[in-house]
Chains A and B, each alone.
Chain A
Amino acid sequence: MAAVDVQKVRKIYKRDAQDIVVLDGIDLRVPDGEFVALMGPSGSGKTTLLNLIAGIDRPTSGTVLVAGTDVGQLSEGALARWRSRNVGFIFQFYNLIPVLTAAENVELPLLLTKLSKSQRRERALTALKIVGLADRAKHYPRQLSGGQEQRVAIARAIVTDPAVLVADEPTGDLDAKSAEDILNLLETLNREFKKTIIMVTHDPRASSRAHVERHLEKGVLANSSERHEVTA
């Protein structure tokens, strides 16, 4: 079964009286354990497609199946529950909550579960260990570097052990060294933890880490360029 199966998806925004077609009949199939890079110029619809896959937006038409669930058919409440269990989202600007420590930020998605406080804390620390920041658990975002903040954000994304990770330009705000670290981490998550990763990026160095590159141009997906075997 494909982790993600996008079928004939169109997304149209209305600006005043004008219809703007952002995605125009997209078909995308991402097998389990795949690491896909979505590339394309600004305004090509990469982030919109990522949002549809993550279940934070709905297609105008077509179907988005993620782990077998038709995301577009879920109610708002059900979609929120589904997101909390199935998708980890990594933002370009980390979007950590500044008043919470690294551990508390990572623990945030677990508040929606029935885990006890100690269980939540334990899982958050495990996630921080995976990203190599266990020693920064009590630090606030302002006390961390950009690369460290992004690693905390990744820990937050994986703490609920979702099958799919979506990353919107995860290295876009980082220096080369930090970007390299983040890409290594994503590779590790894909290789060792079997996470399906869909990453939007402008950066060829980032896309080179993916197994598959897909290019979007004016809302239309170009043919894929496969780099190597999926490590499933």
Chain B
Amino acid sequence: MKYFPYVLKHLRRNWIRTLSTIAGMAVCIFLICTLQTVLDAIRQTTENANPSRLITRHAVSLVFNMPLAYKPRIQALPGVKTVATSNWFGGVYRDIKDFFPSFAVEAEDYFKIYPEYNIPPDQFRDYLQDMRGALIGRDIAEKYGFKIGDVFQMESMIPPYRVGRPFEFVVRGIYQGNSAGTNLGVMFFHYKYLYESIQARKGVGNYAGAGTFNVEVTNPNQAAAVAKAIDANFENSDVQTKTESEGAFIAGFIAMTGNLVALLNGIGLAVAFTILLVTANTMSMAVRERRTEIAVLKTLGFPSTLVMSLVLIEAVALGVLGGGLGVLMAEGLVANLHKMPFMGLVLGQFPGLSVSPFVGTLTFSIAVALGIAAGLIPAVGAYRSRITDMLRQA
């Protein structure tokens, strides 16, 4: 401990270089920490998916809708408890930067399947009685200052749902979450409202199919068999289906962006390797320009192991400072990611996104490990150096 002030003084010696290295390390750790937090959220979301829930979609792509007539056929299958139609609306409130997820759902069935949405009964009753009614999450209400009874308009980004005028909604309910992971940034409205608006425009209901059928099974252990039965039921239809567990559906949705896990980990590794080189260079320069001082320390009787330790502590201090700063930056960014345009849309799907103690500790440890790795070669060099050689080179 008595050597620590000595180490700190050396770090302050070339403060621009030290700050640059710490900043580089912080950005590296910030990036890794943020990426790992996103990966962690993806993993948790898929792991925490309800095993009694299935999602049925068009076999070709989520982009295509399924006939509404499928619903009673699915409902009639053994093991199926509830079925609800749900369509991604893609509505934009005011401006694209104010985007939040919105779904047209069959509320009575949908909220039986998703009891985690805690809607006050009187508000839910009002919602059911109003065709233009909207249920919004607490986060949306807080962000945009919505109150019960407020009227607002939204226009969909999806061409078939653009009916020549914006959809008008009335806030009838503001839901909370019954569990910590509930997404409070989603809006729901009546599927019937969407369907009839499209019908009124075109006179045909071609576009108003079902985006997904959200299915609740009676026995989670039979979910796979039920999923298979649903798909088998439409195997010979024009529109075949793909049914999967909620977890698999989420994972598949995320996988549409490519191998996200490999990509994010790859970026993290590349960044870490780069900062390793930068820090190693900093430490090498710091030791090289202090050759005489290292010789002096050894002449004064500092053992080689102590001199090596001082260099290593200096490198670790860079890692600790950069790592700590990086984790703090990541925590700050992650906490506000949902407010960002576009990025918030994607990451808003992971409610309660925050740097977990595990990810924070992991990335901080990476910073310390990078510091040790970067300082190791210069430290060993200082350990091995002979006093007379270093004094001669000075």
Q: Do A and B come from one complex?
A: yes
- A residues near B (Cβ < 8 Å) are 51, 54, 56-57, 76-77, 80-85, 89, 91, 93, 95, 97-100, 104, 108-109, 111-112, 117, 156
Cβ–Cβ < 8 Å partners of A80 in chain B = 298, 301-304
Interface residue? B3 (CB, 8 A): yes
**How far, in Å, is B285 (CB) from chain A's closest CB?**
15
A95 to B293, Cβ gap below 8 A?
Answer: yes
Question: How many angstroms from the CA of A175 to the CA of B316 in the assembled complex?
Answer: 43
Q: State the majority secondary structure of interface residues on B.
A: helix
Kindly supply a per-residue 1/0 record for chain B positions 1-25, scoring 1 wherever the CB is within 8 Å of any chain A CB and 0 otherwise.
0110010011011000000000000
Residue of B nearest to A86 (CB): B301
B13 to A81, Cβ gap below 8 A?
Answer: no
Question: How many angstroms from the CA of A91 to the CA of B292 in the assembled complex?
Answer: 11
Interface residue? B239 (CB, 8 A): no
A111 to B2, Cβ gap below 8 A?
Answer: yes
Cβ–Cβ < 8 Å partners of A117 in chain B = 2
Residue of A nearest to B298 (CB): A80
Cβ–Cβ < 8 Å partners of B298 in chain A = 56, 80
Residue of A80, A98, A117 contacting most chain B CB atoms (<10 Å) = A80
- How many residue pairs link A and B with beta carbons under 8 A? The number is 62
Interface residue? B180 (CB, 8 A): no
Contacts beyond the supplied A51-B387, A108-B300: 5 A-B pairs with Cβ under 8 Å:
A80-B302, A80-B304, A95-B296, A98-B13, A100-B6
Interface residue? B299 (CB, 8 A): yes
Residue of B nearest to A153 (CB): B296
Cβ–Cβ < 8 Å partners of A112 in chain B = 300-302
What are 24 contact pairs spanning A and B, CB under 8 A? Answer: A54-B299, A56-B299, A56-B387, A57-B387, A76-B303, A76-B304, A77-B303, A77-B304, A77-B305, A80-B304, A81-B301, A83-B299, A84-B301, A84-B302, A89-B299, A93-B394, A95-B292, A95-B293, A100-B9, A104-B9, A108-B300, A112-B300, A112-B301, A156-B300
Interface residue? B388 (CB, 8 A): yes
Cβ–Cβ < 8 Å partners of A89 in chain B = 299-300
| CB < 8 Å neighbour of B301 from A93, A98, A104, A109 | A109
Cβ–Cβ < 8 Å partners of B305 in chain A = 77
Cβ–Cβ < 8 Å partners of B394 in chain A = 93
**How far, in Å, is B34 (CB) from chain A's closest CB?**
35
B6 to A109, Cβ gap below 8 A?
Answer: no
**How far, in Å, is B308 (CB) from chain A's closest CB?**
12
B13 to A99, Cβ gap below 8 A?
Answer: yes
A51 to B6, Cβ gap below 8 A?
Answer: no
Residue of B nearest to A57 (CB): B388
B300 to A84, Cβ gap below 8 A?
Answer: yes
Residue of A nearest to B2 (CB): A111
Cβ–Cβ < 8 Å partners of A85 in chain B = 301
Kindly supply a per-residue 1/0 record for chain B positions 194-224, scoring 1 wherever the CB is within 8 Å of any chain A CB and 0 otherwise.
0000000000000000000000000000000
Question: How many angstroms from the CA of A112 to the CA of B306 in the assembled complex?
Answer: 10
A97 to B388, Cβ gap below 8 A?
Answer: no
Cβ–Cβ < 8 Å partners of B391 in chain A = 91
Kindly supply a per-residue 1/0 record for chain B positions 264-307, scoring 1 wherever the CB is within 8 Å of any chain A CB and 0 otherwise.
00000000000000000000000000001101111111111100
Nearest 4 CB-CB pairs, A to B?
A: A84-B301, A99-B9, A56-B387, A83-B301
Residue of A nearest to B9 (CB): A99
**How far, in Å, is B288 (CB) from chain A's closest CB?**
15
A99 to B12, Cβ gap below 8 A?
Answer: yes
Cβ–Cβ < 8 Å partners of B10 in chain A = 99
Residue of B nearest to A112 (CB): B301
Question: How many angstroms from the CA of A108 to the CA of B2 in the assembled complex?
Answer: 11
| CB < 8 Å neighbour of B293 from A57, A97, A109 | A97
Residue of B nearest to A166 (CB): B299
A83 to B300, Cβ gap below 8 A?
Answer: yes
Cβ–Cβ < 8 Å partners of A99 in chain B = 9-10, 12-13
Question: How many angstroms from the CA of A57 to the CA of B389 in the assembled complex?
Answer: 10
Question: How many angstroms from the CA of A95 to the CA of B299 in the assembled complex?
Answer: 11
B303 to A81, Cβ gap below 8 A?
Answer: yes
**How far, in Å, is A121 (CB) from chain B's closest CB?**
12
**How far, in Å, is A189 (CB) from chain B's closest CB?**
18
